[in-house]
Amino acid sequence: MGRLLEVKGLITRFYTQDGVVHAVNGVSFHVDEGETLGIVGESGCGKSVTVLSCMRLIPQPPGKIVAGEVLFNGRDLLKVSEDEIRQVRGNKIAMIFQDPMTSLNPVLTIEQQISEALELHLGMTGEQARRRSIELLEMVGIPEAERRIDDYPHQFSGGMRQRAMIAMALSCNPQLLIADEPTTFLDVTIQAQIIDIVKRLKDELGMTVIWITHNLGIVAGLADRVIVMYAGYLIEEAPVKDLYGDPRHPYTLGLLGSVPRLDEARRERLISIDGLPPDQIDMPPGCPFAPRCVYVIDRCLEENPSLRTVAPHHRIACWVDVRK
């Protein structure tokens, strides 16, 4: 498996009236071909901003990518021209967003929206694009696709709109699919269907997937590897089995402790993480998680740890070994 995407030292800031928001702080990670990477963390931790920075979709101003490299197939996406990045977006890298109602154009039919990418990137005629659009809707499980393709987004249910978004994302056979919390607004049964669709299509089409979520339960059955983010920093990275079986960062322990479990091993109460994430305008020195951490030592308040390896392919940014 070759390396498809490599992000090195990514820093993104937002320059607001209140001050500079340190949204992404030197994040580095990679995704191999055919792999599913989960990016986990609570709201506002920088997950979405990280991938939007990779695709250069940050509104500038107020946002600015201050430093870093985003190597996709060996080419730095932060250095290519606007025309070149447009050729990558939707074609080589596709994205499914959180709320399909705001991502789909309300005044265009579903067919017009899927066909647009096919005609633009693959040079299809209108008739070819229509046929392919129907195939794509069938692929993501929309019944009577031939009839429904002429509907507008408001005529679709939430789950069907999200399926249409997946069909749109897959229209040009992207190498990398980025799913940004695509099941957040859906009920649990529809969530499970959407996840199954992505898993099935990933296997059928040999895609690489980055799945962003705050829900650790979703990632368990979906990802090969997981990175955990907090306050714009990458704080833990591990294969999925190691992250759940042997979490080593206090924040990850807290996240896992707050997830309901169905197995018999647990009868104790769920735990919650006290306090709030730090203000990313006025970041305190030291580890950003220190004020909420039960393992805190003096060094945590003075110096922010960098990632260190604690097991094969398992890295954490923490001064304390929670296993002791």
pLDDT at residue 154 is higher than 60: yes
Characterize the bridge pairing of strands 225-230 and 208-213: unpaired
- pLDDT digits over 204-228, tens only? 888 899 999 988 888 888 899 999 9
Question: Where in 156-276 does DSSP place strands (E)?
Answer: 176-180, 208-213, 225-230, 233-239
DSSP letter, residue 127:
H
Torsion of CA 305, 307, 310, 311, to 10 degrees: 170
How is residue 154 annotated by DSSP? Answer: G
Written as one letter, the residue type at 132 is R
Neighbours of 193 (CB within 10 A): 17
What's the rounded Cα separation, in Å, for the pair 177 and 187?
22
Task: Supply 181's token pair.
Answer: 């919390």
CB atoms within 10 A of CB 31: 22
pLDDT in tens, 71-124: 999 999 999 999 999 889 888 999 888 776 777 899 999 999 999 888 888 888
pLDDT value at 264 more than 60: no
Tell me which residue has tokens 């923490």. 318
As a whole number, mean pLDDT of residues 195-205 equals 86
**Which tokens is 294 given?**
């039960």
The answer to whether the peptide bond before residue 278 is cis (omega within 30 degrees of 0) is no
The least confident of 133-137, 151-155, 320-324 is 320-324
Please give the torsion angle defined by the CA atoms of residues 96, 208, 41 and 264, in that order, rounded to the nearest 10 degrees.
110
How far apart (Å, rounded) are the C-alpha atoms in residues 278 and 310?
Answer: 26
Residues forming beta bridges with residue 315, ordered by sequence position: 237, 309
Res 146 pLDDT > 80: yes
Tens-digit pLDDT profile for residues 38-47: 999 888 889 9
The 314-316 sheet, strands edge to edge = 93-96, 176-180, 208-213, 36-40, 225-230, 233-239, 314-316, 308-311
Strand partners of residue 314: 311
pTM of model > 0.95: no
